[in-house]
A and B are shown apart, each in its own frame.
Chain A
Amino acid sequence: MIADPKARINVVGALRDAAWTALVAFGLFLPLVGFLTIQNLNNELILETRFGLLATFVAVAAFGRLAYSLVIAPARARRALRPAPTAPSRLRILGSVLARGLAPFGIGFVIVYPAIVLAINGTTGAVKWVDNFGIQILIYVMLGWGLNIVVGLAGLLDLGYVAFYAVGAYSYALLAKNFGLAFWVLLPLAGILAAFWGILLGFPVLRLRGDYLAIVTLAFGEIIRLILINWVPVTNGYAGISAVPRPTFFGIPFNASDQGFAAVFGLEFTPLYRTLFLYYIILTLAFITAFVTLRLRRLPVGRAWEALREDEIACRALGINTTNTKLTAFAMGGMFAGFAGSFFAARQGFISPESFTFLESATIVAIVVLGGMGSMLGVAIAAIVMIGGTEIMRDLDFLKDIFGDTFDPTQYRMLIFGLGMVLIMIWRPRGLIATREPSVFLKERKIIPADLVKEGHG
């Protein structure tokens, strides 16, 4: 067999590539890294040069490019030439076994998670792990699953999802404070109100698709936030609403008083009880979201959502009222965000428009896209990675041991995070779990490959 001349390693070409890369890197990093302006003691701005650092940057870029052309690219080409293995590799079988076991294992794990944390960290350390990790992640899992209905199933890109979260939170905070209604009454009410706002948003954007839909939903999110800021008599503006009533255990509050939970049950007071209570509330809410979404997927309305994502014209030709179908998707998605919002308000005890910025919407959309649109398990994993990852990176103190004491890891948190996102998008451009599981089957459930599943056109 004659070797393909293109597959042979072209050293001269690789060197030329590397030289170009070095040049581009030099041009790019000279102003960014090469020069540094600092204020001296006389308050004068002086220019310092950091050519050594600049040389390091350029060298890394050039050698990286060289390594890519000489080692990585030929290896890839060789792999592409090799015929695909006919039998699934052992690794792949292991992967599918793991994937199948992951959901039940995950459910079991989240139920016993507080006990594990308690055993490892003791009472005081556990609050941080249950609250910052457990509850925070579960809120985003729930938001991700809610948005997954709109973006993943119905294929409608919604960049203003945080608006419904805000509606839920403010509904709870205002109604609980002003009318003294209980958490368990307001939870469904907040969901209904958020669903109503979902329909309200749905109507004007019914005819919009793609980028236009995304822009209008983004604007909707901003409108809600601006109303919260400017309608001061009701929402108290930037100052927000403080002392939002906390949920009680069948009327027993979680506080240090004689009527408090600890006193009534004869326990020593610690804030852990409330944290655990909140953890299991949000866990239950997340399970309800998952259960309802899985049920909906197998009902005609869920199939209509997915059909809408695949081909809207065909849906209309089959007698499906696409207006109602889109509105139900917005309403269902909004409802779950409303639940999550009212829980958020009850947990924090304080809410302000700061918590409902576009960045929140972007985070939730990133969770859904990263997880793989339409996949519940993927969205849950993505929420753990995104939210848990950000939390863990808050304490990257071990990096100080490597880079010296002047290194401040918190400054690099978002950089590392962004790098991780880019890598995942290169490795899995359609999300962690991009395959689709059919809602119904005749003989066997076959997973549908990602390249056939449409992303929706807006």
Chain B
Amino acid sequence: MSERDTVLRVEHLTMRFGGLVAVDDLSFAAARGEITALIGPNGAGKTTVFNCITGFYKPSEGRIALAHGDGKIWEALDGVTDGGARRLIRGDGALYLLERMPEYLVTRQARVARTFQNIRLFPGMTVLENLLVAQHNPLMLASGYTFLGVLGLPSYAAAERAAIEKARQWLDRIGLTARADGPAGALPYGAQRRLEVARAMCTDPLLLCLDEPAAGLNPRESAELNELLLAIRQDYGISILLIEHDMSVVMKISDHIVVLDYGVKIADGSPQEVRDDPRVVAAYLGVADEDVERVEVEVGL
């Protein structure tokens, strides 16, 4: 992968909680327009990495950089880092140092959207309202930071109609148009997962981070999710970063897999390479490296 195709670069990321090192010197890159999966056993530090990327945690050490545009801007990375700025915007793109930004700016400016392992919808708001809250920032601008909106100017009404139209397109896509006016909390589990993805997409992201999107889905729903993610990538040309335990999802749709174990990267490559890596097998089976071959024979791999 050349530097020009990289959208996200995580370098020497370390996250310590007191004495516990949750993520230890992790480096990887995600390519533009590709689906990168982050896998590993429970407690490997995957969600911590996500929280660092999306600004919910401030990493103890390391750099997380995201590029907009064609990637030529990467050459300016060290200059921005030393300059102490949060971002660089040029004619041919922009560069964001995510570890320096609060979480809402990571979404608003760097255009990174995320979903959560335990679904976080707004259960008492309708499905449509959930998708409109995701378009908060453009709508806020259209309402003149509320001042013009209170006066009832027509420009805001037009912006709201456009936002509803955008939401409706996403509802058609995830098959929830019929339930648009019902509360999000009353949706079945699989539909809530899809809605959370659609809500994240309504923020117009360039990088979509999904934390175990297939958790709790049945095989049919998880196949539907695969299709949705592939379609999103194709239609919007965005990059996807994914944490997943469901190997049927990971192996089918990922272009690139990073494997974590105890906060350390143990493998990085294509699905095939990762699948054949003895260290990955060992981590998943929970045995030491030297015992892998013996255990593999035992379990018939």
Contacts and interface: CB of A to CB of B under 8 A. Distances in A.
Bound together: yes
Interface of A: 292, 295-296, 299-301, 303-304, 306-307, 310-311, 313-322, 328, 436, 438-446, 448-449, 452-454
B104 A319 contact: yes
A299 B146 contact: yes
Contacts of A449: 183
Given A317-B114, A319-B104, A296 B123 contact: no
B140 A314 contact: no
Given A311-B120, A438-B181, A443-B181, A321 B126 contact: no
A453 B126 CA distance: 10
B73 to A, nearest CB: 22
Contacts of B149: 295, 299-301
Contacts of B56: 313, 316-317
B192 interface: no
Nearest to A317: B114
Contacts of B168: 442
Contacts of A314: 116, 120-122
Contacts of A438: 125-126, 128-129, 181
B143 A317 contact: no
Contact of B129 (A322, A440, A452): A440
Contacts of B143: 299-301
B118 to A, nearest CB: 10
A441 B126 contact: yes
B269 interface: no
Contacts of B126: 438, 440-441, 446, 448
Interface centre among B54, B103, B168, B203 (most CB of A within 10 A): B103
B152 interface: yes
A66 B203 CA distance: 60
B108 to A, nearest CB: 4
Nearest to A295: B150
B203 to A, nearest CB: 6
B176 to A, nearest CB: 11
B186 interface: yes
Interface string B155-175: 010001000100010010000
Given A306-B122, A313-B116, A314-B121, A452 B133 contact: no
B190 interface: no
Interface of B: 54, 56, 103-105, 107-108, 113-116, 120-126, 128-129, 132-137, 139-140, 143, 146, 149-150, 152, 156, 160, 164, 168, 171, 177, 180-183, 185-186, 199-200, 203
29 contacts: A295-B152, A296-B146, A299-B150, A300-B139, A300-B140, A301-B140, A301-B143, A304-B133, A306-B124, A307-B125, A311-B120, A311-B121, A314-B122, A315-B133, A316-B103, A317-B107, A318-B113, A319-B104, A319-B107, A320-B104, A320-B133, A320-B136, A322-B104, A441-B126, A441-B180, A443-B180, A444-B181, A445-B181, A448-B183
A307 B122 contact: yes
A391 to B, nearest CB: 34
A443 B126 CA distance: 12
Nearest to A455: B124
Contacts of A322: 104
B86 to A, nearest CB: 15
A436 B126 CA distance: 10
B132 A301 contact: no
A94 B137 CA distance: 42
Contacts of B116: 313-314, 317
Interface centre among B114, B183, B199, B200 (most CB of A within 10 A): B183
A322 B9 CA distance: 28
Contacts of A442: 128, 164, 168, 171, 177, 180-181
Nearest to B146: A301
Given A318-B199, A444-B181, A445-B181, 9 more contacts: A299-B146, A313-B56, A314-B116, A314-B122, A318-B113, A318-B136, A321-B104, A440-B164, A441-B181
Contacts of A299: 139, 143, 146, 149-150, 156
Nearest to B140: A300
B160 to A, nearest CB: 8
A321 to B, nearest CB: 5
Contact of B136 (A303, A310, A448): A303
B132 A303 contact: yes
Given A299-B143, A307-B125, A317 B133 contact: no
A296 B152 CA distance: 10
B133 A446 contact: no
Given A299-B149, A303-B129, A446-B181, A310 B139 contact: no
B136 A454 contact: no
B65 to A, nearest CB: 19
A449 B124 CA distance: 8
Nearest to A302: B146
Contacts of B120: 311, 313-314, 317
A299 B149 CA distance: 7
A448 B121 CA distance: 15
Interface centre among A299, A310, A315 (most CB of B within 10 A): A299
A316 B113 CA distance: 10
A151 to B, nearest CB: 15
A452 B136 CA distance: 22
A448 B107 contact: no
A307 B133 contact: yes
Nearest to B151: A295
B133 A454 contact: no
A441 B146 contact: no
Contacts of B185: 452
A300 B183 contact: no
B125 A319 contact: no
Contacts of B135: 300
Contacts of B152: 295
Nearest to A312: B120
Contacts of A453: 123-124
A154 B192 CA distance: 23
Contacts of A439: 129
B263 to A, nearest CB: 23
B148 to A, nearest CB: 10
A310 B123 CA distance: 7
A440 B132 contact: yes
A301 B126 CA distance: 16
